[in-house]
Amino acid sequence: NTGDDFEHFGLHISPDADTLLYTLADMNNTELGWGRRDETWNVAEAGRQVGLDTWFRLGDKDLAVHLYRSQRLGQGVSLTQVCRELCSRFNVDTHIVPMSDDAVRTQVESDIGVLSFQEYFVKNKCKPKVSAIHFKGIEVAAPSPAFLDSLEDEQLRAIIICPSNPFLSIDPILSLPTLRERIKKCGKPVIVVSPLVQGQSIKGPTVKIMRELDLLCDVRTIAELYQDIATAIVIDRQDEAATDDVAAMGLAVHSAAIVMNTLQDKIDLARTLINISQTL
């Protein structure tokens, strides 16, 4: 998802791609929950004296990545290529592919005005009441070629929609022109992992936003969001009572422990998802 991307101090920042990069490189800052491990804050410290905006905290090591990305983009290289180069520099074998090389910017309509994603999420800590979410530039954005290639790759076995925020993190991707059609056309199982457990968000403002958008906060509503493309949905064991209701929508329903606190939890859920994909 590059709807979270933004330009700050003239730099191009890609928070989602960076989080993946740092996590897969085992360099993520587990204390903060974002940014890089063993981070230092010398620039931010000096920035305070100069009067630099401090609501988006930039660590020194993190900043080096933003400088690199900004330089490469300025040289005309695509965001996809920059991601590839960063993965290579950090010895990450997994392909991190941005949804698009074109600028898409998530904008949150709220009770305090229209906010960029970072203004909503970081600066205002998700407190404003959301009335609508737009993805500026989406109409003319093309899915990145590497993204399309992966959808058409014969080795592709399944598409997993992780328990991310459906409105802020998944919808920007699915709203790319032709994307939903291409996912359907590729014919591979699409497995959705519910971001809700017992009507509560696993993480972040999902439920808060659902309430503000007058949606029921249950797995059935989640299933509806993805109904046109999903093959299966994985709900938490605690939500098993909803199985028949969701299955009636034409989806395969599986239950598992979907709250991931430890690395082992993540490995277990990943294995479960692979196993499920083989049954579809």
Shorter beta-carbon distance to a copy of itself: residue 81 or 150: 81
Span of 67-75, 140-148, 199-207, 239-247 interacting with a copy of itself by CB under 8 A: 67-75
150 membership: H or E segment, kind and range: helix 145-152
What is the smallest separation between the CB atom of 158 and a copy of itself, expressed in angstroms? Answer: 33
What is the smallest separation between the CB atom of 93 and a copy of itself, expressed in angstroms? Answer: 18
Q: Give the CA angle between residues 201, 116, 147 to the nearest 5°.
A: 75
What is the smallest separation between the CB atom of 262 and a copy of itself, expressed in angstroms? Answer: 28
Could you tell me how far CA 17 lies from the centroid of its own chain? 9
Total residues binding a copy of itself (CB under 8 A)? 32
Q: Does 54 bind a copy of itself (CB under 8 A)?
A: no
Residues 6+ apart with CB under 8 A from 202: 163, 195, 196, 258, 259
Q: Does 47 bind a copy of itself (CB under 8 A)?
A: yes
Nearest to 14 by CA among 51, 68, 53, 52: 68
Could you tell me how far CA 145 lies from the centroid of its own chain? 19
Q: Does 50 bind a copy of itself (CB under 8 A)?
A: yes
**Rounded Cα distance, 57 and 41, in Å:** 9
Shorter beta-carbon distance to a copy of itself: residue 80 or 272: 80
Span of 8-16, 103-111, 218-226, 227-235 interacting with a copy of itself by CB under 8 A: 8-16
Q: Exposed, middle or buried, 200 (CB in 10 Å: 0-12/13-18/19+)?
A: exposed
Q: What tokens were used for 43?
A: 């620039």
**Rounded Cα distance, 269 and 277, in Å:** 12
- Please pick, from the candidates 37, 57, 61, 188, the single residue that binds a copy of itself as defined by CB under 8 A: 61
Q: Does 26 bind a copy of itself (CB under 8 A)?
A: no
Instruction: Tell how strand 196-197 and strand 200-201 pair up.
Output: antiparallel
What is the smallest separation between the CB atom of 103 and a copy of itself, expressed in angstroms? Answer: 14
Q: Does 65 bind a copy of itself (CB under 8 A)?
A: yes
What is the smallest separation between the CB atom of 89 and a copy of itself, expressed in angstroms? Answer: 5
DSSP of 86-128: HHHHTT--S----SBSS--EEEEEETTEEEEHHIIIIISTT-S
Of 94-153, which residues contact a copy of itself (CB under 8 A)? Answer: none
What is the smallest separation between the CB atom of 87 and a copy of itself, expressed in angstroms? Answer: 11
Span of 57-65, 139-147, 208-216, 219-227 interacting with a copy of itself by CB under 8 A: 57-65
Span of 44-52, 114-122, 138-146, 176-184 interacting with a copy of itself by CB under 8 A: 44-52
What is the smallest separation between the CB atom of 259 and a copy of itself, expressed in angstroms? Answer: 33
Nearest to 212 by CA among 133, 96, 148, 107: 133
Residues near a copy of itself (CB under 8 A) are 7-12, 40, 42-47, 49-53, 60-61, 63-65, 67-68, 70-71, 73-74, 85-86, 89
